[in-house]
Amino acid sequence: MKTIKAIRGMNDISPAEVSYWQLFEDTARSVLAAYGYQEMRPPIVERTELFQRSVGESTDIVEKEMYTFEDRSGDSLTLRPECTASCVRAAVEHGWLRGGGVRIWHIGPMFRYERPQKGRYRQFHQLDVEALGFPGPDVDAELILISARLWKRLGLKNIRLEINSLGARDAQAAYRQTLVDYFGAHREALDEDSLRRLGSNPLRILDSKNPELQALITDAPAPVDHLDAQSADHFEGLKRALREAGVAFEVNKRLVRGLDYYTGTVFEWLTDELGAQNAVCGGGRYDGLIEEIGGPATPATGFALGIERLVELLKVQQVVPMEASPHAYLVAVGDRAGQLALALAERIRDQSPGLRLLVDAGKGSFKAKLKRADRSSARFALIIGDSEAEAGTVGVKDLRSNHPQTTIAQTEIGGFFHQQVLN
């Protein structure tokens, strides 16, 4: 029969790889708690309209990358391509903004119908961090410091920070016209994509990867040179805060990001060690979004980090996650011992919380069972035969040394493991 394969661009995370994910997730949880951010878990499916209104009709994501379908009642639903929109929707829907600012985070899968390649998938995972209700550059800086601390705690190096400012909505409109005039005067040089964007979303032309457009883009008016006074102050405040905290950055005037909701600060963390998909993390301020989706006018800022790319970077930089191999492997030989093995393992787990104990399952000779114990990477084999079952003892063999096997009372096993592996 033909085998069924996973969907292109949607990956299994194997048991061998999951320790990297757990290392990242545990570290992220601990770092975010240190800054007072709380986890939230929105659904994976939302109304299509939410992303059309937030991410923006003329973005690549909404134009061609969303997994959209009609459910049985005819509603248009979408597998979330990102989760800022969901966080904002939830905060408005449940009135979280009434009590002042909200600092939240979420980890989960996102879906974009992109052309899969290394570092770019159709189902990928993000850590998303959002601070709603804070107008100042201090919280933009706080978000950047959170990501910097994450790199530090994970032992990651060579991730560089680029920042830019797109200005407030009103100033954006005036700047947009300047940009349309500029690119409009060079129409003949534009490619098909950029011509289309000229009418719908001229800022996105600055993000074009077409090598033939780069000279034109370099000379184009940059948003950061057309800021309103308040945005300029805000941007200065951010730069000051970063310098004060010792975070190196570079202003990239062409950094515009691929989603429409940004106002003011935008930033990205980039690496040269992952090939073409070099953005590990990106975010910025979106002061107009909450009002646009029907909530009270509220400033907000946030970022999302691509976990697949981060895990790849952990591997490239040889950050080794903690071993998750079992501490001990229990082997039973003989009928009576076989009947007692599971119950004995339960008693051991009662005595030794935190102990990773694997119980041998399946048939085979004593030799075959010991071979399985060795292959499990456990340090100790616990061996129970009928005579040990009778005497209330267990044989202990250190699989990683030549020490002879010892025998200890079953009631002493907790103490033994506490001394050997758990303290």
Query: Segment 85-114, which members bind ligand HAM (CB under 6 A)?
Result: 112, 114
Please name the residue that has the structure tokens 């000229």: 198
The contacts of residue 410 (CB under 8 Å, 6+ apart) are: 344, 347, 392, 393, 394
How many residues contact ligand HAM, by CB under 6 A? 26
The contacts of residue 120 (CB under 8 Å, 6+ apart) are: 9, 114, 277
Position 302 contacts ligand HAM (CB under 6 A): yes
Binding-residue pattern over the window 124 to 153 for ligand HAM, x denoting contact by CB under 6 A: x-x-x-x-----------------------
The contacts of residue 301 (CB under 8 Å, 6+ apart) are: 130, 131, 134, 139, 140, 143, 265, 283, 284, 285, 286
Count other Cβ atoms within 10 Å, centred on residue 268: 20
CA distance 104 to 133: 11
Dig out the tokens for 142 from the structure: 């706080």
Query: Segment 351-390, which members bind ligand HAM (CB under 6 A)?
Result: none
Least CB distance from residue 204 to ligand HAM, whole Å? Answer: 13
Query: Segment 202-261, which members bind ligand HAM (CB under 6 A)?
Result: 258-259
Piece of the chain touching ligand HAM by CB under 6 A; list 43-51, 92-100, 173-181, 303-311? 303-311
Residue 268 or 360 having the CB closest to ligand HAM: 268
CA distance 357 to 156: 32
Position 287 contacts ligand HAM (CB under 6 A): no
Residue 232 or 279 having the CB closest to ligand HAM: 279
Piece of the chain touching ligand HAM by CB under 6 A; list 13-21, 193-201, 296-304, 370-378? 296-304
Binds ligand HAM by CB under 6 A, chosen from 202, 223, 264, 282: 282
Position 299 contacts ligand HAM (CB under 6 A): no
Q: What number of H helices and E strands is found in the chain?
A: 15, 16
Determine which helix (DSSP H) or strand (DSSP E) holds 314, and give its type and residue range: helix 307-316
Residues that bind ligand HAM (CB under 6 A): 82, 84, 112, 114, 119-121, 124, 126, 128, 130, 258-259, 279-284, 286, 302-304, 306, 308-309
